[in-house]
Chain A
Amino acid sequence: MSFDVQKIREDFPILKRSVNGYPLVYLDNAATSQKPQEVIDCIVAYYSTYNANIHRGVHTLSQEATEAYEEARKKIQKHFHIQYPEEVIFTSGTTHGINLVANGFSSLLNEGDEILVSAMEHHSNIVPWQMLCERTGAILKVIPMNEKGELVMEVFENLLTEKTQLVFVNHVSNALGTINPIEEIIQKSHKVGAAVLIDGAQSCAHIKPNLQTLDADFYVASAHKMCGPTGVGMLYGKKEWLEKLPPYQGGGEMIKEVTFEKTTYAGLPHKFEAGTPNIAGGIAFGAAIDYLHKIGFEAIANYENELLEYATSELLKIKGLKIYGTSKKKTSVISFNLEGIHPFDIGTIVDKLGIAVRTGHHCAQPIMDFYKIPGTVRASFSFYNTKEEVDRLVKAVQKAQMMLS
């Protein structure tokens, strides 16, 4: 297998730019990925040649746009191994998908029902459930993690009871990179009759799941994490579940018939797609999936693993550097701190050297509380990063350490 990273880099126009006088090293891929020319062109083509509202007009443009949009839905369906296209709901992103499900469960939960979330969730996978609990009187329980940043599965099993209605975990933690054992979590949750939502925001760019064999009840992801545009994402829900949940927002597109007395809702997926969606975004989401398939998910995973191993061993050569999240199963995310130095200071110096990393709590404050730290520096690698870029990061961190200690 030949993985020509230099050739791949040619596909991403942004990688040619410089920052603060240095060639950009973009290591904030866990926040959002960069976009290949193909995806950018796809958006331009939509607005310059067939921009029209979808599912509405009989005119040619509208039909072309509708076809392209529905074609994208099928690409998503195929990519995630989803049984029916109507089980794919276009959303504005992971956060929207989670809120849609949480809101739907308001009418299905009773006081005293229990919801489990993991200790390593993104705020977007904590707050909606807290709000749901406030509305319904359900109780939120937390699956703890250990020092390595892995879920403690024995405790999870003890927390699962017939009261458990819902279980939410991210496939991969954005702050630590841990790949959670979602197969096992889904199986065990189903044994007590609980539904499971998997947050795929951090895994979708690295791991291609088979949602049918996985048997997840819900799965959410964002296009912008997988080389697609911002403001669009997907929610998968098993048909039975999506039929049971009430609509989230009312509006055009989601209705069958409207009188002032009563409205009948449209069938799936339109019931959950009120209003004019992000049409260009949806179509470009499809283009991003096509692009990733051309590179190949296996090739991506292999190469990113190589980068992760190289970066981990190089960074650990720096005295006083500690990595948070040391699970054996990880995606290419390294969260770290230097002894006695605030992550914000490191981020500031490293940015001056043209390197984009994230600093702070990464929307996962409970994890920072667990380690009793104010935050970390997070470098997250993608298949278009190189070992030379890892070397530049290491040098920059060393420079920061020299200046700051």
Chain B
Amino acid sequence: MTIATLQEELIEEFSLFDDWLDKYEHIIELGKSLPLIEDTLKTDDKLIKGCQSKVWLHAEMKEGNIIFTADSDAIITKGIIAVLIRVFSNQTPEEIIQADTSFIDEIGLKEHLSPTRANGLVSMIKQMKLYAVAFQAQKTT
């Protein structure tokens, strides 16, 4: 599925919740179901800076697509990562680099986009795009 369709899907999924409580409960569920990153990959160089909670992000190339795995010590953060991974994992570097991220706003997680919130959603997206740029550069050289 393309990034755009996955985003559409998420927007629809989140529109089912009309109050914040249900929405957060859903995020927490998503966090719990996130496949965990292997402990051996939870090294300091995989830590994303600028988060109040710890976030580890790992990326590898498989058949032309980038596979992201991640973990966090905070469950809400983990839920947000799960959303990001659903959209960005298993896509080509080009698609990830070009992807628009306004769906975050549309599913009502905008407050987490604020850089002052220090939960690092912005840093996470940036780091995912950086990985994409790096893998793309590898391919062309």
Chain A positions within 8 Å of B, measured between CB atoms, are 20, 341-342, 344-345, 348-349, 352, 359-360, 374-375, 403-404
Contacts and interface: CB of A to CB of B under 8 A. Distances in A.
Nearest to B54: A374
Interface stretch (B41-49, B58-66, B73-81, B91-99): B73-81
Given A345-B77, A374-B54, 7 more contacts: A342-B75, A344-B53, A344-B74, A344-B119, A345-B74, A359-B52, A403-B25
A359 B117 CA distance: 11
Nearest to A399: B21
B104 to A, nearest CB: 16
A358 to B, nearest CB: 11
A195 B52 CA distance: 37
Contacts of A403: 21, 24-25, 28
Given A344-B53, A352-B20, A404 B73 contact: no
Q: How large is the interface on B (under 10, 10 to 19, 20 to 34, 35 or more residues)?
A: 10 to 19
Contact of B52 (A341, A349, A352, A375): A375
A374 B28 contact: no
A345 B52 contact: no
A344 B20 contact: no
A13 B42 CA distance: 47
A337 to B, nearest CB: 12
Given A345-B75, A374-B53, A374-B73, A404 B119 contact: no
Contacts of A360: 52, 118
Nearest to B117: A348
Given A403-B24, A404-B28, A345 B54 contact: no
B26 to A, nearest CB: 11
Contacts of A344: 52-53, 74, 76-77, 119
A349 B77 contact: no
A404 B53 CA distance: 15
Contacts of B20: 20, 352
A342 B74 contact: yes
B123 to A, nearest CB: 14
* Best-surrounded residue of B25, B52, B73, B77 (most CB of chain A within 10 A): B52
A348 B54 contact: no
Nearest to A349: B24
A392 to B, nearest CB: 16
A404 B74 CA distance: 10
Contact of B75 (A359, A374, A375, A404): A404
Contacts of B118: 360
A345 B75 CA distance: 7
A342 B25 CA distance: 16
Interface string B1-45: 000000000000000000011001100100000000000000000
A377 to B, nearest CB: 12
Interface string B99-132: 0000000000000000000110000000000000
Contacts of B75: 341-342, 345, 404
5 contacts: A344-B52, A344-B77, A345-B74, A403-B25, A404-B76
A332 to B, nearest CB: 24
A335 B75 CA distance: 20
Contacts of B73: 342, 374
Contacts of B25: 403
Nearest to A374: B73
Contacts of B76: 344-345, 348-349, 404
Contacts of B119: 344, 348
A344 B50 CA distance: 13
* Best-surrounded residue of B53, B54, B119 (most CB of chain A within 10 A): B53
Contacts of B21: 352, 403
A279 B119 CA distance: 37
